[in-house]
A and B are shown apart, each in its own frame.
Chain A
Amino acid sequence: MTDLALQLQGVTKRYGDFTAVDQVSLEVPKGSIYGFLGPNGAGKTTTIRMILDIVKPTAGSISVLGRPSALDVRDRIGYLPEEKGLYKKMKAWAVIAYFAALKRVDRKTAKNKAYELLERYGLKDFADSKIEALSKGMSQKVQVLASIAHDPEFVILDEPFSGLDPVNQQVMEEVIRDMSKTGSTIVFSTHVMAHAERICDRIVLIAKGQIIFDGTIPEAQRSMPNRVRLVGDVEEVQLTGLPGVQQARTFEEEGRDGGWELILDESADPGDILRACFDQRIELRSYDHREPTLHDVFVHLVGEDAREATLR
């Protein structure tokens, strides 16, 4: 028995001349929370559809819970597609119970589970409402619950956060953490880095159908160059003269004065820079050395491709 929930080897999908997914290899250990990050059109959804065997890959092999097709183990998998939608005329509990029943939960258990989940995640009062009477965010929550009501071992959530308000985004994070606590493996895709940063054990960054990063969040942060940001009356030459500084460039941040960003040698100590500034009487209004956020990593790695995604 392998301890991988998911394994992709050289998976490629072509639509005519267009390569949507190119040579993707990936291993998701059981029990982990894995983030699929990438700009729109990067191939996340296609990859997920291939994992679920809804779409067949052009080349490469996929193994889900040790089986070559997700359909063999579909009762142990939960799936939330990117495009959300439910039967409008059905009641919230009935939708959840129906999808659970399709996963071989017996009807009575499914119904109880539906009510339990709705209550736990704040939709108790809407359990008997029809989907068409719910707001978009609420019906999306119902759909998420429908995808996990059968306690799947492996959950794939495509953009679970999109369309949710901040409060419900937190509820969604809670859902994912709760699932993880029970030992489920969770793969979700998003282009909102903050969520990934908070809950993922590992992330995969996909752009133009290729994996450009695969690892833990600290690893991702380490992939960024060492840097400090400072604001003050200072000339570029003064800055490049500081110890360990490779490059100085201006940056602008919304609501604040523009300043300088210094790219440092990997071994350089940001403390030394600050001391040197004092020594050279460079007047600083602000000095900032912090771990790069996933957002920074994302922008750094994906660059221009990400523009569209991050603006959303």
Chain B
Amino acid sequence: MRNALLVASREYAENARTKGFWIGILMLPVILVVAIQVTRWLENDATPTRYFTVVDQEGHYLEEIDRRLDLRYAGRVLGAFQSWTQSNFREEYRQAPIDFENMPPMDLKGDADAYLELLIQSDPKAFDSLLEEGGIQRRIDEVADFLREDASEFETPRRLFVRVELPAEMDPAGEPREIAGGLKEYLNGDQKLANGDQQIDLFALLVIPQGVDNAFQPQEERGLIGEIADGLTKDKAPKVEYWSINLADSDLPNQLQSILNRELRRSQYLVRGMDTVVVNDVQGMHLPVKKLDPGKAEGEEEVSQADVLRDYAPIGFVYLLWISIMQVASMLLNNTVEEKSNRIIEVLLSSVTAWELMAGKLIGIAAIGITILTCWLGSAAGLLWYWSSPEAVLISNLLDVIFDDTLLPAFIFYFLGGYFMYAGIFLAIGSVCNTIKEAQNFMGPVMMIMMVPIFTMMFIPKDPHGTLATVLSWIPLYTPFIMMNRAAAEPPMFDLVGTSILLVVSNIAVLWLCGRIFRTGILRTGQPPRLVEMLRWMRRRAD
């Protein structure tokens, strides 16, 4: 045992002393931070203001486009204002954000328009005033008493989309194709467009030709022939045209399209004699759905954000588990091959037994794995804590989930269970190969087997006790990953205990068999053995 620990501490020191190791560990959090920051930056600053022009030959769309874009912009300003207040209010107010707006439920956020509508309804005047000159400043003044002393300036977000007028020399009533042709140089970026005293790049042109609405006008029964004729003319009916050389940035066309459809419907309600106020009222209706979990204590069945996170957190854990096991097990493979190709193994074997050597390597690298995981979880917690101002609730929920009292111990158990299984296999592979290249040939099939939990990881939480999940849970190679995947859903006791016992037993079996391969393979030079030969080594007592 003493020798095994000596080997282990050397393995640990050799890896932990290199700069590359720490850089490798820190890469993950750093990439995470950079990715998040870059996305934020891209969202806020990177996309330039998009200037576009609209030719509305139907007449009623233009106003609606302007109004809607204004409202959306106001919504953004309001959102920015809210997060600003959250991070700049004094501590006592931040705990309970002031409900100065009678904010509608946040879970509608996915449906931007509906959300906006509710916002507007909740306080139409306040909303309109936001768009006026100095509107936001009034808001800032209103909350001045709640602000911290070192509060930062509020930065009003800029408009992302700005509509400009068609150049005066163009005829807005002309053929769409002609208009587009006339603007070609601007749209191609060859020429700047004058907008007031500014020179701007024209990003897009929207043409709503005369007669687009006709296809939707209510019609009398016209019989089969008439309908066929309608179908034919419908194809020839004019279409709204969106011209831009950049079709990858779909934000503007998507927004315009949703505004157009909204306006089309509104105008058709009118045409069909429906009361638009009633229609708007009805459209704004929203039935809140409360998610409940019968598994929870009475009175607390309501599913919170933390619960949702908790259901999905295992995916993160599975991924972490997979990456870390993969990483440390390949470390083991590499340094076994190194010891073998450097012929260090013979000296080692004159000092320690093959079992001691193997045990030492397994323990040393397991310690490395635990170090890596501690660093990752630690830095994740650190980063979340650092970011915890605006989305405070979400973050603290996340932290609660990560350091949950069942998930974390499960994670540690499955890490060790998975580690010893794959480490044993990798060690055996390493022991029979003289070069990394040879080892890679063996690794191919092993990798394919190992990929399965990654493929299934997204589906398992949706049906955590289904056939797929249950069957895979009982395959020891997959037990750690799949059971981790199912951990939050509280799998049946039979599965939980049974697979754990099976995992431990198969760990012992794998280590024992791989130990036999290791013992024989490690001293072998020349061609790697065939599988049959290795099976023979497993049965044989000694060479």
Contact = CB atoms under 8 A, between A and B. Distances in A.
Contact of A83 (B338, B346, B349): B346
Given A56-B542, A99-B351, A84 B14 contact: no
Nearest to B543: A56
A24 interface: no
11 contacts: A54-B346, A54-B523, A55-B523, A55-B543, A79-B347, A81-B347, A83-B343, A86-B344, A88-B338, A102-B351, A147-B347
B343 A84 contact: yes
Contact of A52 (B339, B341, B350, B542): B350
Contact of A85 (B3, B14, B343, B542): B343
B467 interface: no
Given A52-B350, A55-B523, A74-B351, A102 B3 contact: yes
A90 B2 CA distance: 21
Interface in A45-85: 49, 52, 54-56, 70-71, 74, 77, 79-81, 83-85
Interface string B457-473: 00000000000000000
Contacts of A49: 346, 523
A146 interface: yes
Given A54-B523, A85-B344, A77 B14 contact: no
Interface string B234-251: 000000000000000000
Contact of A88 (B342, B343, B353): B342
A87 B344 contact: yes
Contacts of A56: 542-543
Interface of A: 49, 52, 54-56, 70-71, 74, 77, 79-81, 83-90, 98-99, 101-104, 143, 146-147
B543 A81 contact: no
B346 A102 contact: no
Contacts of B18: 89
Output the residue of B342, B344, B350, B352 with the most chain A CB within 10 A.
Answer: B350
B10 interface: yes
B433 to A, nearest CB: 16
Nearest to A158: B346
Contacts, number: 59
B516 to A, nearest CB: 14
Interface in B345-359: 346-353
B320 interface: no
Interface residues of B, number: 24
Output the residue of A71, A85, A104 with the most chain B CB within 10 A.
Answer: A85
B536 to A, nearest CB: 13
Closest 7 CB pairs of A and B: A85-B342, A83-B343, A85-B343, A81-B346, A79-B350, A102-B351, A52-B350
Given A54-B349, A54-B523, 6 more contacts: A49-B346, A74-B350, A79-B347, A81-B347, A85-B344, A101-B6
A98 B346 contact: no
Contacts of A79: 346-347, 350
A80 B347 CA distance: 7
A101 B353 CA distance: 15
Nearest to A15: B543
A54 B348 CA distance: 10
B14 A99 contact: no
A54 B350 contact: yes
Contacts of A147: 347
B350 A77 contact: yes
Nearest to B525: A83
A143 B348 CA distance: 12
Interface string B532-543: 000000000011
Interface in B326-369: 338-339, 341-344, 346-353
A81 B338 CA distance: 16
Contacts of A87: 14, 339, 342, 344
A55 B352 CA distance: 14
Nearest to A56: B542
A117 to B, nearest CB: 16
Contacts of B348: 102
B347 A146 contact: yes
A54 B353 CA distance: 9
